């Protein structure tokens, strides 16, 4: 938005939510604001469904908008910190895969398939999902 003529457009909040502000509040004309919105629309995640649903859809399609990827990375980093605090010291931070979507490189971190699919691991994951405050996309690689 800033690079398209709305220099005072605010950053998203810590949850990735955009502030609802109009052209007048941001000091630009309505036509200038609408032109910037049109130019940037492709960067927004779709408005339908929950974050988790949107993320799964874009992963399946192999085409995730940058804003959605950043939101996923933020949630996944919190989840990784929680997993390490709950007894999985080598749980990795997320990385961007070749298809442009974030995942946890668990096998590279020495976490076996058997362990990451065990009830003990799932229990820790469920606890961290609750602590992080909602559904975190956990794609293991």
Q: Please give the pLDDT value at position 48.
A: 54
Best CA proximity match to 106, nearest among 135, 80, 72? 80
Q: Which helix (H) or strand (E) holds 103?
A: strand 102-103
| pLDDT greater than 90 at residue 77 | yes
The pLDDT of 82-101, averaged and rounded, is 90
Domain extent listing, the chain: 2-43, 69-132
The pLDDT of 80-84, averaged and rounded, is 95
Is pLDDT larger for residue 47 or for residue 52?
A: 52
pLDDT digits (tens, 9 = 90+) for 101-127: 888 999 999 999 899 989 999 999 989
Band of the pLDDT at 47, cuts 50, 70, 90? low
């Amino acid at each position: 938005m800033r690079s398209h003529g709305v220099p005072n457009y605010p950053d998203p909040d810590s949850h990735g939510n955009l502030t609802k502000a109009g052209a007048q509040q941001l000091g630009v004309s309505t036509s200038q604001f609408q032109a910037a919105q049109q130019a940037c629309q492709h960067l927004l995640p779709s408005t339908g469904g929950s974050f988790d649903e949107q993320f799964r859809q874009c992963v399946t399609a192999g085409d995730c908008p940058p804003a959605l990827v950043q939101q996923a990375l933020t949630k996944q980093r919190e989840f990784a910190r929680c997993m390490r605090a709950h007894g999985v010291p080598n749980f990795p931070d997320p990385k961007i895969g070749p298809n442009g979507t974030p995942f946890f490189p668990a096998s590279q971190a020495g976490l076996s398939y058997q362990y990451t699919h065990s009830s003990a691991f799932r229990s820790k994951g469920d606890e961290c999902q609750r602590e992080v405050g909602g559904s975190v996309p956990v794609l293991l690689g």
